[in-house]
Amino acid sequence: MADLKISALPASTVPLAGTEVLPIVQSSATKQVTVANLTAGRAVATGALTVTGDATLATGNLIPSTAAKGINFTANTGNAGKTSQLLNWYEEGKFDVTFTCGTSGTITLDPGVNSMAYTRIGRMVTITGFIAVTATSSPVGSLTLNGLPFTCMAGTEGTAGTASSFRLNNWDATTPQLQGLILASTTTMLIQGFLAGVAVDAAGYVKTNSSLAFNATYFV
């Protein structure tokens, strides 16, 4: 076959199948390699990669190698109050909690029923679960749930805290409606009762064999 310039060769059919072969020089010898093997198992470095159309991962995951990197949505016109359009976190798991009393006494949770589940998407953390009490010793004062998986944001103008409602079982018969407030810059939730619209301490309403199911969402 006569030698031809690359520009004189007929155009290939695209997209390539991967089985096409190209010549390469390896260990001073000319050999052939398939298109599919050119980058197989090797990292491809690029400062910026632009994809036209949809991108599909046949296998595996999309894994950012640098912390705080993710999917940037700045192509969307953001709201006037936006602070970020970067989705850079997803995580799910379990965490153990404890109760503490603000004045005195103790509340002991069942070690087999003291775990809750969490899901974090970006800065939003949702917690959910069921916990049970096995023993109490004269609990008095405020009731605090400890051990949240992430620290609540510091926040300004009331943006940090969040409220939650509960389903109770076997608490004191006089227990008022309970609500929870995840405190800014902490991993704790303050649980309070409300009587005539006034917050009251809740530790004294907990009994042995009390249980509590709830969920809440907060931001980090």
Across the range 166-181, mean pLDDT stands at 94
Q: Is 67 inside any structural domain? A: no
Written as one letter, the residue type at 21 is V
Mean pLDDT over residues 192-204, rounded? 92
In a domain, 8, yes or no: no
**Domain range for 197:** 90-219
Q: Is residue 81 part of a domain?
A: no
In a domain, 176, yes or no: yes
Q: Determine, yes or no, domain membership for 20.
A: no
Q: Domain for residue 114, yes or no?
A: yes
Predicted confidence at residue 158, as pLDDT, reads 60
pLDDT of 159 > 70? The answer is: no
Inside any domain, residue 156:
yes
Structural domains counted in the chain: 1
The residues that bridge with 167 in the sheet, in sequence order, are: 213
C-alpha 177 chain-centroid distance: 30
Model pTM score: 0.80
For residue 151, the tally of other CB atoms under 10 A from its CB is 16
d(CA 66, CA 142): 42
CA distance 123 to 93: 16
Task: Look at residue 131 and tell me if it is in a domain.
Answer: yes
